[in-house]
């Protein structure tokens, strides 16, 4: 196990890495891993974290930036690991689902809706479970709109048909 020294050099490294600024330089004369560090996030919002927590688990980011980084990381991980395009193609072929469009949820950019003609999803590179699928209900032929996750769970049914089944 490597011993980590929580000193000024490590603090300066972490602040540079996360593009944050130290608020009160007089309080960091004596540092240990439980020292509370007051900082300004790269977005300009002030925050306070324990040195160990900022170094090992999240960085010197405010609550908003931490949540944004978390969502971004989840999206990147889901995109890399789970390519649900093949699963959706199998679902279309086996259950004979009619799909009108797919709304791709983008974390950084706005949502993008892609129109689908004749259930042809070959132009779409990656689909994740939070992407919204619009299609035709298998029972009542009305339009449904649900995430891929719930399409897998409940099948190609609209809200009314899901409640009755």
Q: pLDDT tens for residues 134-157?
A: 888 888 888 888 887 788 777 888
Cα(21)–Cα(128) distance, integer angstroms: 36
Quick one: which H or E segment has residue 70?
helix 63-81
Cα(16)–Cα(67) distance, integer angstroms: 20
Q: Is 27 helix (H, G, I), strand (E, B) or coil?
A: helix
Maximum average pLDDT range among 54-58, 86-90, 129-133: 54-58
Any idea what DSSP says for residue 26? G
Quick one: which H or E segment has residue 77?
helix 63-81
Mean pLDDT score of the chain: 80
Mean of pLDDT values over 114-120 = 70
pLDDT band at 18 (very low <50, low <70, confident <90, very high): very high
Does 54 score more than 70 pLDDT?
A: yes
């Amino acid at each position: 196990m490597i011993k980590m020294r929580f000193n000024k050099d490590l603090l300066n490294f972490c602040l540079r890495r996360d593009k944050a600024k130290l608020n009160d330089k007089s309080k960091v004369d004596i540092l240990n891993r439980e020292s509370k560090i007051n900082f300004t996030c790269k977005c300009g919002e002030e925050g306070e974290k324990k040195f160990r927590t900022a170094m090992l688990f999240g960085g010197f980011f405010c609550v908003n930036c931490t949540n944004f980084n978390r969502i971004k990381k989840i999206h990147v991980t889901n995109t890399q690991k789970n390519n649900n395009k093949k699963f959706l193609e199998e679902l279309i072929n086996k259950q004979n689902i009619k799909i009108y469009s797919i709304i791709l949820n983008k974390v950084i950019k706005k949502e993008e809706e892609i129109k689908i003609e004749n259930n042809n999803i070959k132009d779409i590179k990656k689909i994740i479970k939070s992407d919204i699928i619009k299609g035709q209900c298998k029972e009542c032929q009305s339009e449904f709109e649900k995430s891929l996750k719930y399409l897998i769970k409940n099948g190609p049914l609209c809200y009314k048909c899901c409640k009755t089944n």
